Amino acid sequence: METMYNKYSQEYDLNVDREEVLKKMCKTSLKMDEALDAGDVTGYKNLATVFDQLRKSGKFTEAQNKDDRQQVLSSIGELVALCEQEGGIIPALPQYDPDQYPQDKIDFTLRDLKAYTYSLVSNELGLGDLIESYIEKLEKSEEDSTDLNAGLITSAEEAADEELSDAEAEE
């Protein structure tokens, strides 16, 4: 009896009258089961008729439940009237600005790149000087490496030219 009451109370909205009908339905259902167990078929039929009438009067049938749930708006006018009844004019959303209100990973990435570029340009005032000094250091290091390589033998031909003859070695 309690499980039936709990199932119906979860499925349907209950007011005072509907709750009383539901209690009587639960009791009738219990009596129906007792009549079946006792083998009283005519008593069961009478109780089943009463049970069906209680379901219909309490609007516990599936067809009546669908009618209650089915409140479809069929026109724009009904939608506007519903909105005005429920809360007035719908406020406009703020203008979408991805810098202030990022929505996805791309917006976050773009915002971070803009912030990085801005800080690089505004905080590094001597950025051009840094690049030019780096280029000068590269050129200077290339010149130094050519000076160091000037006395080194790098090929077999240079090695043959550098070999001393026996006479030159004795001198």
Judged by DSSP in three states, 94 sits in coil
Question: Of 86, 81, 31, 28, which is closest to residue 57 (Cα–Cα)?
Answer: 28
Neighbours of 32 (CB within 10 A): 19
Indicate the pLDDT class of residue 53, thresholds 50, 70 and 90: confident
- Over residues 110-127, the mean pLDDT reads 81
Cα–Cα dist 44/37, whole Å? 10
CB of 35 within 8 A of CB of 44? yes
Query: What does the domain layout of the chain look like in residue ranges?
Result: 2-69, 105-162
Report the Cα 28 to chain-centroid distance in Å. 49
pTM: 0.37
Cα–Cα dist 130/120, whole Å? 13
Q: How does pLDDT run across 56-80, given as a tens digit for each residue?
A: 877 777 765 555 555 666 788 887 7
Q: How does pLDDT run across 24-44, given as a tens digit for each residue?
A: 888 888 888 888 888 888 888
Q: Is the dihedral of CA 83, 85, 86, 91 positive or negative?
A: positive
Cα–Cα dist 53/50, whole Å? 5
